[in-house]
Amino acid sequence: MTTADPTPAYPTDEARWAAIERRDRAADGAFFCGVRTTGVYCRPSCSGRPLRKNVAFYDTREAARAAGLRPCLRCRPDEPIETLSYGFGETPLGLALAATSETGLALLIMGWDRAEMREDLAARFPRARLVEDDAAAGPALAALVAAIDSGRPGDLTLPLALDERGTDLQRAVWKALRDIPAGTTASYAQVARAIGRPSAVRAVAQACGANPVAVLTPCHRVVRSDGGLSGYRWGVERKQALLAREAAA
């Protein structure tokens, strides 16, 4: 991945304007658009809605600044633009999406609808350039399928580096989840004790809900103190199915 990406996918003003109209997150970094009336320059995916006649295109931030424009406060075009590659795959428990950065697996989620899953991805990484690339997502999706198939999700050695984005507490929780043996469950209170924060049960529950790596970080093994399943971000039926597979394995 190069930093000065001369992406040839937007070679003409027409292609660039089309990218702006669809707020194409893959276009971020490929060029910048200046808005004469407001005096700012933006990423192509900015949520602002300028009129075509007021827009000019620049290959670089420097060119936009040289034209007297200042960076938009909404889309912050001067912040480094990170690229995430993502792709979809089918698993025994339905549709999944994996997104990887240069560091590792940044997101692995399940879902029902590709558009909704893309929205979840975009919301979690609001400043990233998102490029659909099923090949790049392949290893993570294969690991997910293998984990589900084995009935021992999470017992497999993680086949790829994780690039988890979270607070210290969240990361401690996600690590503690990976220590819950397959075939067993833990309560939120037990996880809170495991990370040395026994009173942080509510924050632990929130961290479980924010788990960015489905199944491989087995948040499905956390249940209510009374044994009730509690919720599951990707559908309680999937949680039930995962626990049943582990109990039978």
Would you name the residues annotated as active-site residues?
A: 42, 219
How far apart CA 187 and CA 177 sit, in angstroms, is 11
Q: Which is nearer to Zn ion, 42 or 147 (CB)?
A: 42
Q: Give Cβ neighbours of residue 1 (< 8 Å, ≥ 6 apart).
A: 83, 102
From its phi and psi, is residue 104 left (phi > 0), alpha (psi between -120 and 50) or beta? Answer: left
CB of 41 to Zn ion, least distance (A): 8
Which CB atom, from 34 or from 111, has the smaller least distance to Zn ion?
34
Nearer to Zn ion, 50 or 159 (CB): 50
CA gap 244, 241 in Å, rounded? 5
Which positions lie near Zn ion, rule CB under 5 A? 42, 46, 48, 72, 74-75
- Least distance to Zn ion, CB of residue 84, Å: 20
Provide the minimum distance between the beta carbon of 146 and Zn ion in the complex, in angstroms, as a whole number: 42
Cβ proximity to Zn ion: between 73 and 135 the closer is 73
CB of 74 to Zn ion, least distance (A): 4
Sign of the four-CA dihedral 114, 120, 125, 127? positive
The count of C-alpha atoms lying within 13 angstroms of the C-alpha of 129, restricted to the half-sphere facing its C-beta, is 22
Burial letters for 227-249: b for 16+ Cβ neighbours within 10 Å, e otherwise? eeebebbbeeebbebbbebbeee
Please answer whether residues 47 and 23 qualify as being in contact, where contact means their C-beta atoms are separated by less than 8 angstroms: yes
Residues 126 and 6: their CA atoms lie apart, in Å, by 22
